[in-house]
Structure 1
Amino acid sequence: MQVTSIGHAGFHVRTAAGSVLCDPWVNPAYFASWFPFPDNTTLDWDALGACDYLYVSHLHKDHFDPALLAAHVNKDATVLLPDYPVPDLRRELEALGFHDFLETTTETKHRVTGRDGNVLDLMIIALRSPADGPIGDSALVLDDGETVLFNMNDARPVDLDLLEREFGRVDVHALQFSGAIWYPMVYDLPERAKVAFGTQKRQRQMDRARRYVEQVGATWVIPSAGPPAFLDDELRYLNDDRGDPSNIFPDQTVFLDQMRRNGAEQGLLMLPGSTADCHGSAEPVLTHAIDPASVFGNGDDGVKAAYVEAFAQRQRPVVAAAKASWAPAEGEPLLAPLKALFEPLMAQADAISTGIGGPVVLELGAEMVVLDFATRTVRAGVEGEKSRYGFAIPPELVRTVLRDGEHDWVNSIFLSTRFRAWRVGGYNEFLYTFFKCLTDERMAYADGWFAEQHDDGAEIVLEGWRVQKRCPHLKADLSRFGVVEGTTMTCQLHGWQWNLEDGTCLTSAGHELRVEKA
């Protein structure tokens, strides 16, 4: 098996049974805020696109690049389709001309046969909770009979024992380790608080990745699926090139150093064009197309900062063209179109609207719009109006997503980081789920998922506390992901926390933990 990094979460995997192209991404995403890091524009995308199989893990734009897929990828390739409850991914790929789909069943091994009779076993683990889309997220396992590759990208699967049961030992494990969020940078917080929260976030996401590395136990590990590069002048401060311990976008070398400090020496540094020739658990033969020292230096942030600066200069016309394509900031008031979009969805989303529970303020330039989830109405705001949750969004971004029929504000506006936010209290999963699900089909699925959650009653003991075995958030096994520090328990799968003295969720309302002293 030959594994070639094509940037970010993307890989080209060559096997005797055919080649698999995974998550190819080159064009900027999220209002031209995110670019692949390091630069992958010089790769031979026509050659990479002449693949036998295509795997797009999910519809987030740093994994699903419609312009690249349309221009460079073989439309006769067999699409390895995750088993999602909402068929948006298939629809999008069909619209681009793909027509041959292998509809997988989640957590089920499938076998494909190449032209010469060689076989490739594969499995897609599809994650289908509202936190994953609900268009979903997924991970891919490939087994060519000699090497097992687990491409987890930025998915967070729960049942890792499945890998050993179905494939035995994993030889190569690729996974996300860096940030893919807007917290805490966009929040109206004192700078001291932002530094504290950012430092905590940076470490927790790497701790979670290391926990996955330990659980999977692969022979070799490839940090992937991040970080992005921020090349717009307005966003350059988000790059981790100034030695900032609170930056939530650490690069591959930082995570590999974290692994080494914790006794794990099996990390592999791969950049766009890097190729690993893999033969089971033997050490891969690694070849770089880019000299890592030219990107990262030798721990010298000045080298990386210079690389990002040169990258930004090359992409300046791309950023300018993207901004020119946005809708104008000025126009008819936004109240009417937002009312038409949101009110029918609020009316059908009983569990989600109840979970939000009150007004959410949108400051859109000079216009204020209030989404009142208690009354299921959208109305004009009044100056000085108070709410637990609020967003100040440039009106051109809202006009653009309305013009383009964008169904997911989280993975368009919010991941752009081109907005400000404030809140009173903890993170509200219901609120961000609402903004992900702006179609009847998505909203019906997500609201039903919340309404049907149930507890299976199983319990475990952690550090003297008897707690329910499954995380109230996404049912992760707390015997694996639960960490107790004093009277606080953290589920490292997503970093959610609970007060063990009374079971209160410290991260989001409405997810209490069943707990008592053992």
Structure 2
Amino acid sequence: MQITSVGHAGFHIRTTAGTILCDPWVNPAYFASWVPFPDNTGLDWDAIGDVDFLYVSHLHRDHFDAKNLLEHVNKNATVLLPDYPVPDLRRELEKLGFEKFFETEDSVKHTVTGPGGELEIMIIALRAPADGPIGDSGIVVSDGETTCFNMNDARPVDMELLDQAFGHIDIHLLQYSGAIWYPMVYDIPSRTKANFARQKRQRGMDRARSYIEQVGATWVVPSAGPPVFLDDELRYLNDTEDRFSPENSNIFPDQETFLEQMRINGNSGGILMIPGSVAEVHGKELELTHPVDPATIYGDKAAYIEEMATRLAPVIAAQKATWAYGDGPLLEPLRAKFEPIMAQSDLICDGIGYAVGLVMGDETVVLDFPKRVVRAPVEGEGKYRYGFRIAPELVRTVLRDDEPDWVNTIFLSTRFQTWRIGGYNEFLYTFFKCLTDERIAYADGWFSEAHDDSASVELEGWEIQRRCPHLKADLSRFGVIDGSTLTCNLHGWQWDLESGRCKTSKGHELRSKKLETH
């Protein structure tokens, strides 16, 4: 098996049976905020796109690059389709001209036939509303000699099924770096923000190492991040100083930083791949070649980014020119967009439980979730418990484009500011991901469905329910107890074990009790 990095979470997998292209991203994403790092614009994308199979893990724009898929990927390729609850991914690929789909069943091994023979594949599809834009996934590919698990930025909860279906994994490709805006856009004191960011940086790498230990692959490739931020106003997000320091509070550690974390913790199987790097993998044997010396990128990372910023400035400017600049109040367009969704989502609106402010330049609009209305502010209303400051042109753009997902556009861009009083509200961000009838119906049903939490596990002197109340991770694997606080390292959520109260978000109580000592 020959695995070529094409940047970020993108890989080209060549086998004797056929070729698979995974998540090919090259064009700036999220309002021109994110750019692949290291630079992959010099690759031969027509050759890369001439494949037998295409796998797009989910609809996040750093995985689903519509322009690249349209212009460079063979439309005769068979799409290996994850088993998602809503068909949005298939619909978007059909719009681009793809017609052949192999519909997989979640976590079931399938045999697909390429021009040179058969491959075994399995796609692990995550279906919770919090997983990507209604779905995230990872793929396992085996050619009979080598087995590759491309987990990209999915967070599966049951790793035992890999061993059951495929046995030993030879090479594991996974995300290790932050990919979300918290806490950088929050209106909190700088010292507090730095402390939260430092915790997030380490927690993300710890979570990745936990997955690596569970999978037990011979080789590990840190991938799916981080992006590089080339716009002047976002350049501070790049991790260029004191990259290996434990005091670093940048939430986007790079590949070299994570490989050092692996070495410190006794794992020497990590390998660095840059766009164009080729790994020839034969079972447990691997030979790696690079297109250039990685030291030309990481030796002076700041200079490399500065050169990229200068060269790609026209591309960034061209994308920004497409934004919807204009005048006129936004209250009525937002009312037309949000109120029909509110009317269909009782559980989510009740879960949010309060009014949320949208500050867009000189205009403030209130999303009054308890009353299911979008309205102007009321005199004396005070500061909203959750609020967002967003440039009007960004809001006009997502309204113009009828975007079903503000998380996958505005929020991932980091081109906004927010504040909150109290904990993170998962219901709120789920609402912003589900701005279609189909999505909101699924999400509201997900939260209303009763989940079995009868199984228990003993951990550090406590008996707790085995499955995390958030997204059902196995707490015997992902749970970490410090005093009377439980942290689920899958997403970093925390509970007070004395009371069972979730310290991260509203609701999501945990069943727990202290075991008696004799």
Q: Give the TM-score category using the shorter length.
A: over 0.9
- The equivalent residue for 2:93 is 93
Structure 2 gaps, min length 5: none
Q: What amino acid does structure 2 have at the position aligned with 1:279?
A: H
- The equivalent residue for 1:128 is 127
Q: Distance in 1 between matches of 2:41 and 2:450?
A: 44
1:474 aligns with 2:476: no
Match of 1:316 among 313, 318, 326: 313
Match of 2:340 among 341, 344, 356: 344
Q: What amino acid does structure 2 have at the position aligned with 1:90?
A: R
Cα offset for 1:305? 0.3
- The equivalent residue for 1:206 is 205
Match of 1:296 among 295, 298, 301: 298
Kept in 1, the 8 Å contact 2:133–2:405? The answer is: no
Give the secondary-structure state (helix, strand or coil) at the position aligned to 2:130: helix
Give the secondary-structure state (helix, strand or coil) at the position aligned to 2:156: coil
Q: Distance in 1 between matches of 2:310 and 2:238?
A: 15
1:274 aligns with 2:277: yes
Give the secondary-structure state (helix, strand or coil) at the position aligned to 2:400: helix
Question: CA-to-partner distance for each residue in 1:120-163, whole Å, 9 max, x for gaps?
Answer: 10000000000014530000000000000000000000110000
- The equivalent residue for 1:146 is 145
Q: Distance in 2 between matches of 1:261 and 1:133?
A: 31
Structure 1 gaps, min length 5: 298-302
Question: CA-to-partner distance for each residue in 1:390-419, whole Å, 9 max, x for gaps?
Answer: 000000000000001111000100000000
1:483 aligns with 2:486: no
Kept in 2, the 8 Å contact 1:89–1:135? The answer is: no
Cα offset for 1:387? 1.5
Cα offset for 1:218? 0.4
Kept in 1, the 8 Å contact 2:58–2:133? The answer is: no
1:197 aligns with 2:196: yes
- The equivalent residue for 1:498 is 495
Q: Distance in 2 between matches of 1:26 and 1:435?
A: 26
Q: Distance in 2 between matches of 1:113 and 1:68?
A: 25
Kept in 1, the 8 Å contact 2:59–2:133? The answer is: no
Kept in 1, the 8 Å contact 2:354–2:369? The answer is: yes
Q: Distance in 1 between matches of 2:21 and 2:261?
A: 29
Question: CA-to-partner distance for each residue in 1:21-62, whole Å, 9 max, x for gaps?
Answer: 000000000000000000000000000000000000000000
Q: What amino acid does structure 1 have at the position aligned with 2:156?
A: P
Question: CA-to-partner distance for each residue in 1:466-491, whole Å, 9 max, x for gaps?
Answer: 10000000011100100101111110
Kept in 2, the 8 Å contact 1:153–1:224? The answer is: yes
Q: What amino acid does structure 2 have at the position aligned with 1:375?
A: K
Q: What amino acid does structure 2 have at the position aligned with 1:78?
A: T
Kept in 2, the 8 Å contact 1:55–1:79? The answer is: yes
Cα offset for 1:455? 2.9
- The equivalent residue for 1:156 is 155
Please, what TM-score do these two structures have when normalized by structure 1? 0.97
Kept in 2, the 8 Å contact 1:86–1:134? The answer is: no
Q: What amino acid does structure 2 have at the position aligned with 1:365?
A: G
- The equivalent residue for 1:104 is 104
Q: Distance in 2 between matches of 1:291 and 1:400?
A: 41
**What is the correspondence of 1:160-175 to structure 2 with a 5 Å cutoff?**
160-175=159-174
Match of 2:289 among 273, 278, 287: 287
| Percent of matched pairs sharing the same residue | 69
Match of 2:368 among 368, 372, 375: 372
Q: What amino acid does structure 1 have at the position aligned with 2:251?
A: I
Kept in 2, the 8 Å contact 1:134–1:446? The answer is: no
Q: What amino acid does structure 1 have at the position aligned with 2:306?
A: E
Q: Distance in 2 between matches of 1:22 and 1:122?
A: 13
**What is the correspondence of 1:227-306 to structure 2 with a 5 Å cutoff?**
227-243=226-242, 245-282=248-285, 284-297=286-299, 303-306=300-303
Kept in 2, the 8 Å contact 1:134–1:445? The answer is: no
Give the secondary-structure state (helix, strand or coil) at the position aligned to 2:279: strand
Kept in 1, the 8 Å contact 2:17–2:114? The answer is: yes
Cα offset for 1:382? 4.3
Structure 1 residue ranges (4+ consecutive) displaced by more than 6 angstroms after TM superposition:
none
Match of 1:353 among 345, 349, 354: 349
Cα offset for 1:377? 0.6
Q: Distance in 1 between matches of 2:474 and 2:450?
A: 16
Give the CA RMSD over aligned residues. Answer: 0.9
1:414 aligns with 2:416: no
Q: What amino acid does structure 2 have at the position aligned with 1:358?
A: Y
Question: CA-to-partner distance for each residue in 1:275-301, whole Å, 9 max, x for gaps?
Answer: 00000012x11000131101111xxxx
Q: What amino acid does structure 2 have at the position aligned with 1:183?
A: Y
Q: What amino acid does structure 1 have at the position aligned with 2:7?
A: G
Kept in 1, the 8 Å contact 2:434–2:443? The answer is: yes
- The equivalent residue for 1:300 is none
Q: Give the length in aligned residue pairs.
A: 510
Q: Distance in 2 between matches of 1:453 and 1:431?
A: 20
Q: What amino acid does structure 2 have at the position aligned with 1:443?
A: I
- The equivalent residue for 2:51 is 51
Please, what TM-score do these two structures have when normalized by structure 2? 0.97
Cα offset for 1:388? 1.0
Give the secondary-structure state (helix, strand or coil) at the position aligned to 1:285: strand
Cα offset for 1:381? 1.6
Cα offset for 1:350? 0.9
Kept in 2, the 8 Å contact 1:57–1:82? The answer is: yes
